[in-house]
């Protein structure tokens, strides 16, 4: 006997730069970005979803979302008549999205029970893959983007959290604010680069997202009490 599945209301491919969609007629929806990036806006908050990322939510019936596509972007919008999973969550690589994209294409061409079941199986896999801790997810993101100017807004957008919630989670997890933790993370990376490489202070500063090597040196000295140059002398030459 086939299990009863939520009714799929629509499968739409969106590729207009001007399109705005208000999801007021469904209980849950999913957006998968095939190329480019989109901005998902709800009330005064906005979330950016990039290529091969997807986002899911069950609260669209309470407050409408608007989807804004960047130029040359395309995405798939799927909507259901009842909730599939609880709360809003965003799935990012390295999870393999290729099977999911294939299922969506198949479903758009032939909305069969088989293809719909495949979608739900992949949704379960995606949902179960979200077992990485908050601290691990933050550190992974910082490692991948350590050569950029990382801001609290970047973290808020990536983790899909309002700035106030982000601040509270950082205090609970790390004991410091997001901006302080980012600085500590970069300074810790700086010690390894200074100690284990022959790169100049200017080069190391650039690798860590600092445009100004003098500002980098000042932050380093405020953190460790010595300049990058003196730190290298003390830790390489044993002074």
Same domain, 153 and 118: no
Name every residue whose Cβ is closer than 8 Å to that of residue 155 and which is 6 or more positions away in sequence. 138, 141, 166, 178, 182
39 pLDDT more than 70 = yes
Same domain, 96 and 150: no
Burial environment of residue 95 by CB neighbours within 10 A (0 to 12, 13 to 18, 19 or more): middle
Sheet holding 65-69, edge to edge: 45-50, 37-42, 65-69
Same domain, 120 and 31: yes
Please give the DSSP secondary-structure letter assigned to residue 226.
S
Of 103, 128, 153, the last residue of a domain is 128
223 pLDDT more than 80 = yes
With respect to residue 216, please indicate whether it lies within any of the assigned structural domains.
yes
Highest mean pLDDT among 17-31, 85-99, 211-225: 211-225
Same domain, 19 and 50: yes
pLDDT-derived band at 100 (thresholds 50, 70, 90) equals: confident
pLDDT number for residue 183: 93
How many domains are contained in the chain? 2
With respect to residue 1, please indicate whether it lies within any of the assigned structural domains.
no
Of 128, 162, 191, the last residue of a domain is 128
pLDDT number for residue 2: 40
With respect to residue 3, please indicate whether it lies within any of the assigned structural domains.
no
With respect to residue 47, please indicate whether it lies within any of the assigned structural domains.
yes
Tell me the residue length of the chain. Answer: 239
Collapse the DSSP code of 57 into the 3-class scheme (helix H, G, I; strand E, B; otherwise coil) and give the result. Answer: strand
With respect to residue 91, please indicate whether it lies within any of the assigned structural domains.
yes
What residues make up the domain containing 184? 134-236
Dihedral angle of Cα 94, 95, 98, 103, to the nearest 10 degrees: -160
CATH at residue 58: 2.60.120.280
pLDDT-derived band at 94 (thresholds 50, 70, 90) equals: very low
pLDDT number for residue 150: 87
- Residues facing residue 8 across a β-bridge: 80
Of 128, 162, 192, the last residue of a domain is 128
- Mean pLDDT calculated for residue range 200-219: 92
CATH at residue 146: 1.10.10.60
131 pLDDT more than 60 = no
Residue 236: other Cβ atoms inside 10 A: 12
pLDDT number for residue 154: 86
Same domain, 15 and 82: yes
Q: In this prediction, what percent of the chain has a pLDDT beyond 90?
A: 18
Same domain, 94 and 117: yes
- Mean pLDDT calculated for residue range 119-125: 73
Dihedral angle of Cα 183, 136, 102, 19, to the nearest 10 degrees: -40
Strands (E), 62-101: 65-69, 74-80, 89-91
113 pLDDT more than 50 = yes
Same domain, 13 and 107: yes
- Mean pLDDT calculated for residue range 65-81: 79
What φ, ψ does residue 40 adopt, rounded to 5°?
-105, 120
Same domain, 166 and 227: yes
Range in 17-26, 147-156, 214-223 with the lowest mean pLDDT: 17-26
Same domain, 138 and 56: no
pTM of the model: 0.50
């Amino acid at each position: 006997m086939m299990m009863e599945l939520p009714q799929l209301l629509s499968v739409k491919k969106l590729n207009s730069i001007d399109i705005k969609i208000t999801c007021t007629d469904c209980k849950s929806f999913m957006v998968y970005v095939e190329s480019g990036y989109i901005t998902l806006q709800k009330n005064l908050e906005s979330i950016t979803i990039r290529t091969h990322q997807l986002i899911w939510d069950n609260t669209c019936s309470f407050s409408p979302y608007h989807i804004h596509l960047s130029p040359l972007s395309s995405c798939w919008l799927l909507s259901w008549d009842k909730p599939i999973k609880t709360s809003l969550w965003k799935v990012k690589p390295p999870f393999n999205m290729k099977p999911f994209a294939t299922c969506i294409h198949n479903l758009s061409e032939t909305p069969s029970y088989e293809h719909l079941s495949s979608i739900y199986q992949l949704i379960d896999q995606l949902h179960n893959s979200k077992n990485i801790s908050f601290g691990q997810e933050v550190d992974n993101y910082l490692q991948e983007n350590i050569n950029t100017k990382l801001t609290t807004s970047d973290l808020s957008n990536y983790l899909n959290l309002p700035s106030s919630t982000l601040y509270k989670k950082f205090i609970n997890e790390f004991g410091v604010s997001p901006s302080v933790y980012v600085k500590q993370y970069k300074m810790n990376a700086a010690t390894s680069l200074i100690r284990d490489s022959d790169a100049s202070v200017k080069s190391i500063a650039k690798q860590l997202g600092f445009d100004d090597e003098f500002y980098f040196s000042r932050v380093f000295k405020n953190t460790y009490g010595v300049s990058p140059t003196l730190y290298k002398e003390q830790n390489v030459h044993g002074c």
